[in-house]
Amino acid sequence: VPTEGLISTLKELCSDHRNIVFVVSGKERHSLTKTLCHIPNLGLAAEHGMFVSWPTPKVGGKRRWETLVPDQDRSWRSIATMIMEVYTSRTHGSYIEETEMKVLWQYRDADPEFGYLQSRELEDHLSNVLRGFSVDILHGGVEEGGYVEVRPKGVNKGVVSMHIIKNMEKIFNKGKLEFALVIGDDHCDEPMLSVMRQVGRRASEAH
């Protein structure tokens, strides 16, 4: 849940017409809508960029979303879930989490050593079974939250960040943006930081 300090900072940034502000999150869109849609002129990207909602001066009402994920075969979801159920049954403390676009096996509450061994085995199992599907399989170690995730291929925080930047450049018809600031605190933010090297008229650096 966003803190009052964060909400206040976002409101202040969004109140300046020179700023274009986006929150790019791993949360689902209903969660972002519930906690942040009351902030005018704030853009939102949910599920690591699977969904985008452009800034609007209006608050309240139904938020409009678009997706960067093309229509595709989603039968991989039931296959992934069925495999994960096997590992859940033999790994105490693990559980399955499903969102609109992805399926995760969470083992952060399991025994760290056993959970990690099971996660590596699960990752290999999923990779073999789902190789014919257009999906990415991600593995986060214990220090990264402890999960194995299956999601549609080719969309991450870096992809959605560049999508946002390109669209903003078209809207304002000013060519390349002069400046972009990205703030992140998780390994999932690395793709977003990497694409920032392509922004601006001079060499830039992501830290």
pLDDT value at position 62? 75
Classify residue 142 as exposed, middle or buried by CB count within 10 Å of its CB (0-12, 13-18, 19+): middle
Please report, for the domain that includes residue 117, its CATH number.
3.30.70
* Residue 105, domain member (yes or no): yes
Same domain? For 64 and 19 the reply is yes
Same domain? For 86 and 148 the reply is yes
Q: What is the rounded CA–CA span in Å between residue 58 and residue 94? A: 41
* Domains identified in the chain, total number: 2
pLDDT by residue for the chain (207 residues), tens only, comes to 889 999 999 999 999 988 999 999 989 999 999 999 889 999 999 999 999 999 988 776 678 899 988 877 889 999 999 999 999 999 999 999 999 999 999 999 999 999 999 999 999 999 999 999 999 999 988 877 899 999 999 899 999 999 998 888 777 666 667 778 888 877 788 888 888 777 655 555 555
Same domain? For 98 and 144 the reply is yes
Q: Which segments of 110-152 are extended strands (E)?
A: 135-140, 147-152
Residue 89 lies in domain? 76-152
* Residue 119, domain member (yes or no): yes
* Residue 207, domain member (yes or no): no
pLDDT value at position 141? 83
Instruction: Give backbone dihedrals phi and psi of 182, rounded to 5 degrees, phi first.
Output: -120, 135
Report residue 13 as tokens. 């940034």
Residue 21 and residue 10 in contact, taking contact as beta carbons nearer than 8 Å: yes
Q: What is the rounded CA–CA span in Å between residue 204 and residue 59? A: 35
* Residue 23, domain member (yes or no): yes
Q: What is the rounded CA–CA span in Å between residue 43 and residue 45? A: 7
* Cross-strand partners of 139: 148
Same domain? For 100 and 163 the reply is no
* Residues whose CB falls within 8 Å of the CB of residue 75, separated by 6 or more in sequence, listed in order: 133
Report residue 16 as tokens. 């300046």
Residue 85 and residue 96 in contact, taking contact as beta carbons nearer than 8 Å: yes
* Residue 167, domain member (yes or no): yes
* Residue 54, domain member (yes or no): yes
* Residue 204, domain member (yes or no): no
Same domain? For 167 and 193 the reply is yes
Which residue in the block uniquely carries the two structure tokens 């992934």?
80
Please report, for the domain that includes residue 193, its CATH number.
3.40.50.1000
Residue 36 and residue 28 in contact, taking contact as beta carbons nearer than 8 Å: no
Same domain? For 148 and 81 the reply is yes
Torsion of CA 123, 125, 131, 132, to 10 degrees: -130
Output the pTM of the full model. 0.84
